[in-house]
Protein backbone atom coordinates (compact mmCIF):
# COMPACT_ATOMS: atom_id res chain seq x y z
CA UNK A 1 0.00 0.00 0.00
CA UNK A 2 1.36 3.40 -0.98
CA UNK A 3 2.34 5.88 1.73
CA UNK A 4 -0.04 8.45 0.28
CA UNK A 5 -2.94 6.00 0.49
CA UNK A 6 -2.07 5.12 4.09
CA UNK A 7 -1.84 8.82 4.98
CA UNK A 8 -5.27 9.49 3.48
CA UNK A 9 -6.76 6.53 5.37
CA UNK A 10 -5.11 7.69 8.61
CA UNK A 11 -6.55 11.18 8.16
CA UNK A 12 -9.99 9.74 7.43
CA UNK A 13 -9.83 7.58 10.57
CA UNK A 14 -8.77 10.58 12.66
CA UNK A 15 -11.58 12.66 11.14
CA UNK A 16 -14.13 9.96 12.01
CA UNK A 17 -12.83 9.81 15.60
CA UNK A 18 -13.03 13.61 15.96
CA UNK A 19 -16.52 13.64 14.41
CA UNK A 20 -17.68 10.99 16.90
CA UNK A 21 -16.32 12.99 19.84
CA UNK A 22 -17.97 16.18 18.57
CA UNK A 23 -21.27 14.31 18.14
CA UNK A 24 -21.07 12.90 21.67
CA UNK A 25 -20.25 16.34 23.06
CA UNK A 26 -23.18 17.98 21.26
CA UNK A 27 -25.81 15.29 21.85
CA UNK A 28 -25.18 14.05 25.40
CA UNK A 29 -25.44 15.61 28.84
CA UNK A 30 -22.45 16.11 31.14
CA UNK A 31 -23.70 13.22 33.29
CA UNK A 32 -23.93 10.80 30.35
CA UNK A 33 -22.28 7.41 30.94
CA UNK A 34 -20.94 7.49 27.37
CA UNK A 35 -18.95 10.63 28.15
CA UNK A 36 -17.64 8.99 31.33
CA UNK A 37 -16.54 5.86 29.48
CA UNK A 38 -14.78 7.84 26.75
CA UNK A 39 -12.94 10.18 29.11
CA UNK A 40 -11.95 7.43 31.54
CA UNK A 41 -10.96 5.24 28.61
CA UNK A 42 -8.62 7.91 27.27
CA UNK A 43 -6.95 8.33 30.68
CA UNK A 44 -6.55 4.59 31.19
CA UNK A 45 -5.26 4.26 27.63
CA UNK A 46 -2.40 6.63 28.43
CA UNK A 47 -1.51 4.79 31.65
CA UNK A 48 -1.80 1.39 29.95
CA UNK A 49 0.48 2.46 27.09
CA UNK A 50 3.01 3.82 29.59
CA UNK A 51 2.92 0.47 31.43
CA UNK A 52 3.23 -1.41 28.14
CA UNK A 53 6.36 0.58 27.34
CA UNK A 54 8.00 -0.98 30.38
CA UNK A 55 6.32 -4.40 30.60
CA UNK A 56 5.68 -5.15 26.93
CA UNK A 57 8.46 -3.37 25.05
CA UNK A 58 11.31 -3.56 27.60
CA UNK A 59 10.35 -6.80 29.34
CA UNK A 60 10.46 -5.39 32.88
CA UNK A 61 7.47 -6.61 34.87
CA UNK A 62 6.50 -3.61 37.04
CA UNK A 63 3.54 -3.34 39.42
CA UNK A 64 4.19 0.19 40.62
CA UNK A 65 1.96 2.09 38.20
CA UNK A 66 -0.60 3.06 40.85
CA UNK A 67 2.17 4.53 43.00
CA UNK A 68 3.46 6.76 40.21
CA UNK A 69 -0.09 7.77 39.34
CA UNK A 70 -0.60 8.77 42.99
CA UNK A 71 2.60 10.84 42.95
CA UNK A 72 1.49 12.62 39.77
CA UNK A 73 -2.08 13.14 41.00
CA UNK A 74 -1.06 14.60 44.36
CA UNK A 75 1.63 16.78 42.81
CA UNK A 76 -0.88 18.14 40.32
CA UNK A 77 -3.55 18.71 42.98
CA UNK A 78 -1.19 20.45 45.41
CA UNK A 79 0.07 22.96 42.84
CA UNK A 80 -3.26 23.68 41.11
CA UNK A 81 -5.80 24.06 43.93
CA UNK A 82 -6.76 27.77 43.89
CA UNK A 83 -5.08 29.84 46.61
CA UNK A 84 -8.41 31.09 47.96
CA UNK A 85 -9.66 27.49 48.24
CA UNK A 86 -6.67 26.04 50.11
CA UNK A 87 -8.00 27.17 53.49
CA UNK A 88 -11.18 25.16 52.94
CA UNK A 89 -9.23 22.10 51.84
CA UNK A 90 -6.60 22.13 54.60
CA UNK A 91 -9.06 23.32 57.25
CA UNK A 92 -8.07 20.74 59.88
CA UNK A 93 -4.27 20.62 59.86
CA UNK A 94 -3.44 23.85 58.04
CA UNK A 95 -1.49 24.28 54.83
CA UNK A 96 2.29 24.24 54.52
CA UNK A 97 3.79 27.69 53.88
CA UNK A 98 5.75 26.37 50.89
CA UNK A 99 2.56 25.62 48.92
CA UNK A 100 0.20 28.20 50.42
CA UNK A 101 0.46 30.66 47.52
CA UNK A 102 1.08 28.25 44.66
CA UNK A 103 -1.61 27.79 41.98
CA UNK A 104 -0.19 26.94 38.56
CA UNK A 105 -2.00 26.62 35.21
CA UNK A 106 -3.01 23.12 34.13
CA UNK A 107 -0.46 22.43 31.37
CA UNK A 108 2.68 23.32 33.40
CA UNK A 109 1.20 21.43 36.36
CA UNK A 110 0.72 18.30 34.20
CA UNK A 111 4.36 18.44 33.11
CA UNK A 112 5.56 18.97 36.69
CA UNK A 113 3.40 16.06 37.87
CA UNK A 114 5.08 13.83 35.30
CA UNK A 115 8.55 15.10 36.22
CA UNK A 116 8.05 14.45 39.95
CA UNK A 117 6.87 10.91 39.19
CA UNK A 118 9.91 10.46 36.93
CA UNK A 119 12.18 11.74 39.71
CA UNK A 120 10.79 9.12 42.13
CA UNK A 121 11.37 6.46 39.46
CA UNK A 122 14.96 7.61 39.00
CA UNK A 123 15.64 7.53 42.75
CA UNK A 124 14.31 4.01 43.24
CA UNK A 125 15.39 2.75 39.82
CA UNK A 126 19.07 2.13 40.58
CA UNK A 127 18.51 -0.34 43.45
CA UNK A 128 15.22 -1.84 42.25
CA UNK A 129 16.28 -2.54 38.65
CA UNK A 130 19.06 -4.85 39.89
CA UNK A 131 16.32 -7.30 40.83
CA UNK A 132 15.00 -9.85 38.35
CA UNK A 133 11.46 -10.75 37.20
CA UNK A 134 9.20 -11.50 40.19
CA UNK A 135 11.45 -9.74 42.69
CA UNK A 136 11.37 -6.55 40.61
CA UNK A 137 7.56 -6.75 40.44
CA UNK A 138 7.30 -7.21 44.21
CA UNK A 139 9.67 -4.29 44.84
CA UNK A 140 7.66 -1.92 42.64
CA UNK A 141 4.43 -3.14 44.24
CA UNK A 142 5.97 -2.35 47.64
CA UNK A 143 6.87 1.14 46.41
CA UNK A 144 3.25 1.70 45.41
CA UNK A 145 2.04 0.77 48.89
CA UNK A 146 4.72 2.92 50.58
CA UNK A 147 3.54 5.92 48.55
CA UNK A 148 -0.05 5.33 49.68
CA UNK A 149 0.98 5.11 53.32
CA UNK A 150 3.15 8.23 53.12
CA UNK A 151 0.28 10.18 51.58
CA UNK A 152 -2.00 9.25 54.47
CA UNK A 153 0.67 9.60 57.17
CA UNK A 154 0.62 12.32 59.81
CA UNK A 155 4.08 13.58 58.84
CA UNK A 156 2.88 15.11 55.56
CA UNK A 157 -0.61 16.28 56.54
CA UNK A 158 0.14 19.94 55.84
CA UNK A 159 0.97 18.95 52.25
CA UNK A 160 -1.18 15.91 51.41
CA UNK A 161 -3.94 16.59 53.97
CA UNK A 162 -3.55 13.05 55.26
CA UNK A 163 -6.50 10.68 55.08
CA UNK A 164 -8.87 13.58 54.27
CA UNK A 165 -7.33 13.87 50.82
CA UNK A 166 -7.47 16.82 48.46
CA UNK A 167 -10.52 18.35 46.80
CA UNK A 168 -11.43 21.38 44.69
CA UNK A 169 -8.97 20.21 42.05
CA UNK A 170 -9.49 22.12 38.79
CA UNK A 171 -11.40 20.01 36.26
CA UNK A 172 -11.08 19.78 32.49
CA UNK A 173 -11.48 22.99 30.51
CA UNK A 174 -13.58 21.11 27.97
CA UNK A 175 -14.83 17.64 27.09
CA UNK A 176 -11.89 17.20 24.70
CA UNK A 177 -9.08 17.97 27.18
CA UNK A 178 -8.26 14.38 28.30
CA UNK A 179 -8.33 13.15 24.69
CA UNK A 180 -5.91 15.83 23.52
CA UNK A 181 -3.45 15.32 26.39
CA UNK A 182 -3.60 11.52 26.12
CA UNK A 183 -3.21 11.61 22.33
CA UNK A 184 -0.14 13.87 22.53
CA UNK A 185 1.46 11.71 25.25
CA UNK A 186 0.76 8.45 23.40
CA UNK A 187 2.17 9.97 20.20
CA UNK A 188 5.37 10.83 22.10
CA UNK A 189 5.58 7.27 23.45
CA UNK A 190 5.18 5.90 19.90
CA UNK A 191 7.99 8.18 18.70
CA UNK A 192 10.21 6.88 21.51
CA UNK A 193 9.36 3.25 20.68
CA UNK A 194 10.25 3.82 17.02
CA UNK A 195 13.51 5.59 17.87
CA UNK A 196 16.91 4.06 18.63
CA UNK A 197 15.96 4.05 22.32
CA UNK A 198 12.89 1.96 21.51
CA UNK A 199 15.01 -0.52 19.58
CA UNK A 200 17.30 -0.79 22.61
CA UNK A 201 14.27 -1.47 24.84
CA UNK A 202 13.11 -4.26 22.52
CA UNK A 203 16.62 -5.74 22.38
CA UNK A 204 16.69 -5.99 26.17
CA UNK A 205 13.26 -7.65 26.12
CA UNK A 206 14.41 -10.28 23.63
CA UNK A 207 17.79 -11.12 25.14
CA UNK A 208 19.71 -9.08 27.72
CA UNK A 209 23.01 -10.88 27.09
CA UNK A 210 22.83 -10.31 23.34
CA UNK A 211 21.79 -6.68 23.88
CA UNK A 212 24.78 -6.07 26.15
CA UNK A 213 27.07 -7.75 23.61
CA UNK A 214 25.77 -5.28 21.01
CA UNK A 215 26.94 -2.40 23.22
CA UNK A 216 23.69 -1.48 24.95
CA UNK A 217 24.20 -0.24 28.51
CA UNK A 218 21.64 -2.37 30.34
CA UNK A 219 21.48 -0.39 33.59
CA UNK A 220 21.16 3.00 31.90
CA UNK A 221 18.62 1.81 29.32
CA UNK A 222 16.44 0.09 31.94
CA UNK A 223 16.42 3.20 34.12
CA UNK A 224 15.54 5.30 31.08
CA UNK A 225 12.57 3.06 30.26
CA UNK A 226 11.49 3.08 33.91
CA UNK A 227 11.69 6.88 34.14
CA UNK A 228 9.85 7.49 30.84
CA UNK A 229 7.08 5.06 31.79
CA UNK A 230 6.71 6.70 35.21
CA UNK A 231 6.64 10.19 33.68
CA UNK A 232 3.60 9.38 31.57
CA UNK A 233 1.99 7.42 34.43
CA UNK A 234 2.32 10.58 36.54
CA UNK A 235 0.55 12.60 33.85
CA UNK A 236 -2.15 9.90 33.72
CA UNK A 237 -2.59 10.22 37.48
CA UNK A 238 -2.90 14.00 37.15
CA UNK A 239 -5.61 13.56 34.49
CA UNK A 240 -7.46 11.18 36.79
CA UNK A 241 -7.28 13.78 39.58
CA UNK A 242 -8.73 16.35 37.19
CA UNK A 243 -11.53 14.00 36.20
CA UNK A 244 -12.45 13.08 39.80
CA UNK A 245 -12.01 16.55 41.29
CA UNK A 246 -11.01 15.03 44.64
CA UNK A 247 -8.51 12.33 45.61
CA UNK A 248 -7.42 10.38 48.69
CA UNK A 249 -4.84 7.68 49.29
CA UNK A 250 -7.57 5.08 48.67
CA UNK A 251 -8.00 6.38 45.11
CA UNK A 252 -4.80 4.53 44.15
CA UNK A 253 -4.99 1.01 45.61
CA UNK A 254 -3.02 -2.00 44.37
CA UNK A 255 -6.16 -3.02 42.49
CA UNK A 256 -5.66 -0.03 40.19
CA UNK A 257 -2.33 -1.46 39.02
CA UNK A 258 -3.97 -4.83 38.41
CA UNK A 259 -6.72 -3.16 36.36
CA UNK A 260 -4.12 -1.45 34.18
CA UNK A 261 -2.14 -4.67 33.83
CA UNK A 262 -5.35 -6.42 32.81
CA UNK A 263 -5.88 -3.84 30.06
CA UNK A 264 -2.30 -4.33 28.81
CA UNK A 265 -2.60 -8.14 28.77
CA UNK A 266 -5.99 -8.13 27.01
CA UNK A 267 -4.79 -5.61 24.42
CA UNK A 268 -1.50 -7.42 23.85
CA UNK A 269 1.92 -7.06 25.46
CA UNK A 270 3.97 -4.95 23.10
CA UNK A 271 1.07 -3.35 21.22
CA UNK A 272 0.20 0.33 21.65
CA UNK A 273 -3.02 0.13 19.64
CA UNK A 274 -3.96 -3.01 21.57
CA UNK A 275 -3.69 -1.13 24.88
CA UNK A 276 -5.80 1.75 23.53
CA UNK A 277 -8.56 -0.51 22.19
CA UNK A 278 -8.53 -2.65 25.34
CA UNK A 279 -8.81 0.43 27.59
CA UNK A 280 -12.08 1.54 26.07
CA UNK A 281 -13.48 -2.01 25.91
CA UNK A 282 -12.63 -2.80 29.54
CA UNK A 283 -13.95 0.51 30.89
CA UNK A 284 -17.13 0.22 28.81
CA UNK A 285 -17.73 -3.39 29.87
CA UNK A 286 -16.98 -2.76 33.51
CA UNK A 287 -18.69 0.57 34.01
CA UNK A 288 -21.49 0.65 31.43
CA UNK A 289 -22.57 -2.43 29.47
CA UNK A 290 -22.90 -4.74 32.48
CA UNK A 291 -24.44 -2.24 34.91
CA UNK A 292 -27.90 -3.79 34.52
CA UNK A 293 -26.61 -6.94 36.26
CA UNK A 294 -26.32 -5.02 39.54
CA UNK A 295 -30.07 -4.33 39.59
CA UNK A 296 -32.94 -6.63 40.48
CA UNK A 297 -35.18 -7.67 37.57
CA UNK A 298 -38.62 -9.27 37.58
CA UNK A 299 -40.50 -11.24 34.94
CA UNK A 300 -44.02 -10.76 36.16
CA UNK A 301 -43.82 -11.69 39.84
CA UNK A 302 -40.78 -13.93 39.32
CA UNK A 303 -37.52 -12.40 40.52
CA UNK A 304 -34.56 -13.24 38.27
CA UNK A 305 -31.98 -14.96 40.51
CA UNK A 306 -28.40 -13.75 41.08
CA UNK A 307 -29.04 -10.23 39.73
CA UNK A 308 -28.00 -7.94 42.56
CA UNK A 309 -25.22 -5.57 43.55
CA UNK A 310 -21.81 -7.07 42.77
CA UNK A 311 -22.96 -9.66 40.21
CA UNK A 312 -21.69 -7.38 37.42
CA UNK A 313 -18.09 -8.02 38.47
CA UNK A 314 -18.66 -11.78 38.54
CA UNK A 315 -19.86 -11.74 34.93
CA UNK A 316 -17.10 -9.32 33.96
CA UNK A 317 -14.48 -11.71 35.38
CA UNK A 318 -15.99 -14.63 33.44
CA UNK A 319 -15.94 -12.59 30.22
CA UNK A 320 -12.27 -11.75 30.81
CA UNK A 321 -11.45 -15.43 31.33
CA UNK A 322 -13.14 -16.29 28.03
CA UNK A 323 -11.24 -13.52 26.21
CA UNK A 324 -7.91 -14.70 27.63
CA UNK A 325 -8.67 -18.30 26.64
CA UNK A 326 -9.44 -17.43 23.02
CA UNK A 327 -6.91 -14.59 22.67
CA UNK A 328 -3.92 -15.86 24.63
CA UNK A 329 -1.64 -13.14 23.29
CA UNK A 330 -4.29 -10.45 23.61
CA UNK A 331 -6.49 -8.80 21.03
CA UNK A 332 -3.56 -7.48 18.98
CA UNK A 333 -0.72 -9.71 20.21
CA UNK A 334 2.45 -7.70 19.67
CA UNK A 335 1.12 -6.22 16.42
CA UNK A 336 -0.07 -2.69 15.72
CA UNK A 337 -3.04 -1.49 13.71
CA UNK A 338 -2.11 -1.78 10.03
CA UNK A 339 -4.03 -0.93 6.88
CA UNK A 340 -1.91 -3.49 4.99
CA UNK A 341 -3.01 -6.27 7.33
CA UNK A 342 -6.66 -5.31 6.94
CA UNK A 343 -6.31 -5.14 3.15
CA UNK A 344 -4.51 -8.51 3.09
CA UNK A 345 -7.23 -10.11 5.18
CA UNK A 346 -10.00 -8.83 2.89
CA UNK A 347 -7.98 -9.88 -0.15
CA UNK A 348 -7.57 -13.35 1.33
CA UNK A 349 -11.31 -13.67 1.98
CA UNK A 350 -12.08 -12.46 -1.54
CA UNK A 351 -9.64 -14.98 -3.03
CA UNK A 352 -11.16 -17.79 -0.96
CA UNK A 353 -14.68 -16.89 -2.05
CA UNK A 354 -13.62 -16.72 -5.71
CA UNK A 355 -11.95 -20.12 -5.43
CA UNK A 356 -15.09 -21.65 -3.89
CA UNK A 357 -17.23 -20.05 -6.60
CA UNK A 358 -14.94 -21.51 -9.27
CA UNK A 359 -15.34 -24.97 -7.80
Residue 92: domain span: 33-351
pLDDT on residue 80: 95
Q: Is residue 288 scored above 90 in pLDDT?
A: no
Long-range pairs, 338-344, Cβ under 8 A, ≥24: 339/1, 339/5, 339/6, 339/9, 339/10, 340/1, 343/1
Give the span between the Cα atoms of 103 and 162, in whole angstroms: 20
- Residue 72, judged by CB atoms within 10 A of its CB (0-12, 13-18, 19+), counts as buried
pLDDT on residue 178: 95
1 within some domain: no
Of 172, 173, 176, 171, the closest CA to residue 19 belongs to: 176
Q: 37 with 117: CB under 8 angstroms?
A: no
* Rounded average pLDDT over 143-148: 91
Choose the weakest-confidence range: 48-52, 128-132, 224-228. 128-132
Q: Is residue 305 scored above 80 in pLDDT?
A: no
5 within some domain: no
12 within some domain: no
7 within some domain: no
* H/E element, 69: helix 65-80
16 within some domain: no
Burial letters 96-126, b for 16+ CB under 10 A, else e: beebeeebeebeebbbbbbbbbbbbbeebbe
* Rounded average pLDDT over 80-92: 91
- The residue with greater pLDDT, 154 or 280, is 280
20 within some domain: no
Q: Would the pTM count as exceeding 0.85?
A: yes
52 within some domain: yes
pLDDT in tens, 155-177: 789 999 988 999 999 999 999 99
Q: How many domains is the chain partitioned into structurally?
A: 1
pLDDT in tens, 25-39: 999 888 888 999 999
* Rounded average pLDDT over 214-236: 94
138 within some domain: yes
pLDDT on residue 170: 93
Amino acid sequence: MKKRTKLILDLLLAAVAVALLVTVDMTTKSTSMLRTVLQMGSIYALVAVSMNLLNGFTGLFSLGQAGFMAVGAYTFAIITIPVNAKGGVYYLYGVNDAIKNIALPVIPALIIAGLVAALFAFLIGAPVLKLKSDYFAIATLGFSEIVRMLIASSGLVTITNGSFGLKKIPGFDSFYSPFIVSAVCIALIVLIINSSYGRAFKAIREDEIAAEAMGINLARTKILAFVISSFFAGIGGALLAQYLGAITSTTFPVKLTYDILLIVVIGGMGSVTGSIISSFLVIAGKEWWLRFLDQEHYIGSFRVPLLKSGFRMVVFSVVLMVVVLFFRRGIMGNNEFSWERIAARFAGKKKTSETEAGK
